[in-house]
Amino acid sequence: MLRLVCISYEDNTVKNMNKDNLPVLAVDIGGTKIIAALINSDGNIEARVRTPTGAAGGKDASLSNLFLAIDNVLNTGGHKLDEIHSISIAAAGAIDMAKGVVTASPNLPGWFDVPLLALVRERYQVDSYLLNDAKAAALAEHDFGAGKGIKNMIFLTISTGIGGGIIIDDRLYFGKSGVAGELGHMTVEASGPRCLCGNTGCMEIMASGRAIALNARSRVEKGAKSIMLELAGGNIENITAETVSEAAQKTDAVALEVVNRAAFYLGVGMANIANIFNPGMIVAGGGVSKMGELLLSPVRLVVRERAFRLAADDMLIVEAKFGDDAGVIGAASYAYSLTVRSPLS
């Protein structure tokens, strides 16, 4: 197909095109760790540092760890600030894209209405970008990972909670204020239990890592015979989604029931995604997705049972390619996409 590049010269996102030879300094700040990396436009990581977020220390502590990580990766990579393309940050939390503000983050205590973009720009005086971490991971999977070449792709990160990212026409979809893609907070069982978001019966409260752990603990507490108690050192409170996964792989009946219940609700959610988006692919990332086929195989059955045939047939459900690096790779890709963009694809 013929490709033309059309540039609107009044569009202030188009500038300094030759900067694209420089690496993006990408940072992913989550509840437990900060990863900072220098990443080039092919998605390759030139340097990387990893440090605890220190979230329990509050906003100032985690912010100062964030800045430290930025300084460290510059040193590690041997780069000065004028030798990078930009700083691009993927952050856990709800982000007001118009203002560059982290409005709230369940995993970063004390982070309310933090003007992170302004803080970074002020401190480093370079082009800076900010987006939600699940959206960044979606972009990483689309641009360089499992969803490469898939025009319309949905990313789900299934870990303690469930986050999402939507790719429409090969681009990240943000919605009006930048908070689109909260697929974990799609109600699938309105009469179900209350979610941390205040809603009832969200896919997250029915099928996340937290839901899996709680369901397993409750069954063991009620006396179900399972190797999970042993795997958790005899302490019910130590049963996690990983415990469930380990026991299920050993064909523990109780653990398999717990996995299949989560798979049912993930399947309901993914069937909704099929009927709503008719996408080419759902990419599943996050800790829980590491269960692999044990989880995804029953999920696919539920989707086939529930979604429209044409939509289900056309939709692959696959594991994510990237693990912990998805956030930084996606943040870098996002920064490059904002400086050069061909409106034709």
Per CB under 8 A, the list member of 22, 61, 118, 168 interacting with a copy of itself is: 168
Nearer to a copy of itself, 104 or 236 (CB): 104
Q: Six-digit token pair at 202? A: 């969200």
Q: Six-digit token pair at 111? A: 């982070």
Footprint (CB under 8 A) of a copy of itself, residues 291-320 = 305-308, 310-311, 314-315
Per CB under 8 A, the list member of 57, 106, 115, 280 interacting with a copy of itself is: 280
| Rounded Cα gap, residues 19 and 211, in angstroms | 45
178 is a site residue for a copy of itself (CB under 8 A): yes
182 is a site residue for a copy of itself (CB under 8 A): yes
Per CB under 8 A, the list member of 105, 160, 245, 272 interacting with a copy of itself is: 272
Binding-site size for a copy of itself (CB under 8 A) equals 62
Q: In the chain, how long is the greatest CA-to-CA distance?
A: 68
Measured CA to CA in angstroms, residue 131 lies from 176, 247, 329 at distances of 14, 37, 12
Q: Six-digit token pair at 68? A: 């430290």
Residues with Cβ within 8 Å of residue 235, at least 6 apart in sequence: none
Across 78-125, where does the E strand assignment appear? 86-91, 94-96, 101-104, 112-114
DSSP 125-141: -S-EEEEEHHHHHHHHH
Per CB under 8 A, the list member of 149, 190, 233, 237 interacting with a copy of itself is: 190
Radius of gyration of the chain (CA): 21
| Rounded Cα gap, residues 58 and 218, in angstroms | 32
Nearest-approach distance from CB 190 to a copy of itself, in angstroms:
5
13 is a site residue for a copy of itself (CB under 8 A): no
Binding mask 200-239 for a copy of itself (x = CB under 8 A): xx--------------------------------------
| Rounded Cα gap, residues 338 and 340, in angstroms | 6
Is the distance from CB of 27 to CB of 36 less than 8 angstroms?
Answer: yes
152 is a site residue for a copy of itself (CB under 8 A): yes
Nearer to a copy of itself, 203 or 328 (CB): 203
Per CB under 8 A, the list member of 263, 268, 288, 328 interacting with a copy of itself is: 268
For residue 305, how many other CB atoms are within 10 A of its CB? 11
CA dihedral 62, 67, 72, 77 (to 10 degrees): 130
Q: Six-digit token pair at 342? A: 């061909």
183 is a site residue for a copy of itself (CB under 8 A): yes
Per CB under 8 A, the list member of 40, 107, 199, 249 interacting with a copy of itself is: 199
Nearest-approach distance from CB 298 to a copy of itself, in angstroms:
15
343 is a site residue for a copy of itself (CB under 8 A): yes
The total number of residues shown for the chain amounts to 345
Binding mask 77-116 for a copy of itself (x = CB under 8 A): -----------------x-x------x-------------
* Site stretch for a copy of itself (CB under 8 A), options 44-52, 64-72, 110-118, 163-171: 163-171
Sole residue written with tokens 């978001």: 197
Residues that bind a copy of itself (CB under 8 A): 1-4, 6-11, 94, 96, 103, 151-152, 166, 168-169, 173-183, 185-191, 197-201, 264-265, 268, 271-272, 275-280, 305-308, 310-311, 314-315, 343-344
